[in-house]
Amino acid sequence: MKAFVFSQYKQPLQQADVPEPAVGDHDVLVQVAAAGVNQLDAKIIEGEFKSILPYSLPHGIGHDMAGSVIGIGANVTGFKIGDEVYARVAKDQVGTFAERVAVTEADLALRPTSITVAEAASLPLVALTAWQALVVKGKLKPGQKVLIHAGAGGVGSLTIQLAKHLGAHVATTASAANADFVRSLGADEVIDYRSQDFEKELSGYDLVLDSLGGENLEKSLRILKPGGKVIGISGPPDPAFAKDAGLNPLLRLVIAGLSSKIRRQARKLGVSYEFLFMHPSGEQLRRISALIDDGALRPIVGATFPFTQTPQAVLALSKGGVRGKVVVVND
């Protein structure tokens, strides 16, 4: 079958003929109709995560997909041939920029019925990130204040909507050109990151979702109220992540060192920092499907590319300036 693979880090994707996916007893074989493009894909190709996500090259890439079930493993009970589904695949099944993909049943869900297949493919990684940041780690409550950085992007545009649905007061950073757009998603306050300093404009926040890292992360700590929390999705990874990922003791030590400065700064301020590397969950996607079909959330697709232009789709995302998600649509 046809798929896009990377043979070297920091090099463009290449189309290749690859073996059909191996379908285990608990796997579902899906004909991919569309695949979402994520910053995670670009960062893996650039080699930014090779210490914690090592791959033998050449390797497929792509984490999101929507499509139809064309085969099921011997022990699969929740899906049947013809079901319209979507998923963020697990790390050992990465490779959704392909004609077909095998997905563990537990990571799969029926896709929302009220949206297109391209819109469904745009959702899994960003929607699960929003859910795990706000609901699982952040435990966001009505009336609390949350800052979501880069609100016009793929993660930000979904997280603003979910935070508003949960009853929070929502601030976000965006360009002036995107101010009306993020307000339409539910943002109560918009900080123009080009002309304003969010640290001077905001204070007393319960939660921050940081997707930028570096100085932005350090400043985010300082706008929190005592007991507040920053959840970082760009890094640095923390010891809890290293433990959950089952990394070896040496890597755990290295990762603890990477985040020691920011965790120390957080403790001095009476706040906390946690790294989120979202994980697949069919159960959480089912909840997200219900929110989509109820009209509480809407996917934002900023650009679509045909399958043959997958490398250009990844490049478009890397260059920035796209509202919401970039999606590859199979012919």
Give Cα 56 distance to the centre of its chain.
Answer: 23
Give the span between the Cα atoms of 71 and 112, in whole angstroms: 21
The angle at the Cα of 209, spanning 219 to 293, to the nearest 5 degrees, equals: 160
Q: Would you say 6 and 15 are in contact if contact means Cβ atoms under 8 Å apart?
A: no
User: What's this model's pTM, rounded to 2 decimal places?
Assistant: 0.94
Q: In this predicted structure, what is the pLDDT of residue 238?
A: 83
Q: In this predicted structure, what is the pLDDT of residue 241?
A: 79
Q: In this predicted structure, what is the pLDDT of residue 295?
A: 96
Q: In this predicted structure, what is the pLDDT of residue 235?
A: 78
Question: Dihedral through CA 45, CA 46, CA 48, CA 50, nearest 10?
Answer: 50
Q: Which residues of the chain are under the pLDDT cut of 70?
A: none
Tokens 């046809």 belong to 2
Domains and CATH numbers, the chain: 2-123+299-329 (3.90.180.10), 125-275 (3.40.50.720)
What one-character-per-residue DSSP string does 221-290 give? HTTEEEEEEEEESSS---HHHHHHTT--HHHHHHHHHHHHHHHHHHHHHT-EEEE------HHHHHHHHH
Q: Would you say 76 and 103 are in contact if contact means Cβ atoms under 8 Å apart?
A: no
Give the span between the Cα atoms of 331 and 306, in whole angstroms: 7
Tokens 């123009």 belong to 192
Handedness of CA 277, 282, 283, 289 (dihedral sign): positive
Q: In this predicted structure, what is the pLDDT of residue 47?
A: 87
Helix (H) or strand (E) run with residue 163 in it: helix 154-165
- Which residue type does 221 have? L
Q: Would you say 83 and 113 are in contact if contact means Cβ atoms under 8 Å apart?
A: no
Task: Give the pLDDT confidence of 222-267 residue by residue, as tens digits.
Answer: 999 999 999 999 878 888 877 777 777 777 888 888 788 999 999 9
Structure tokens at 114: 């009220």
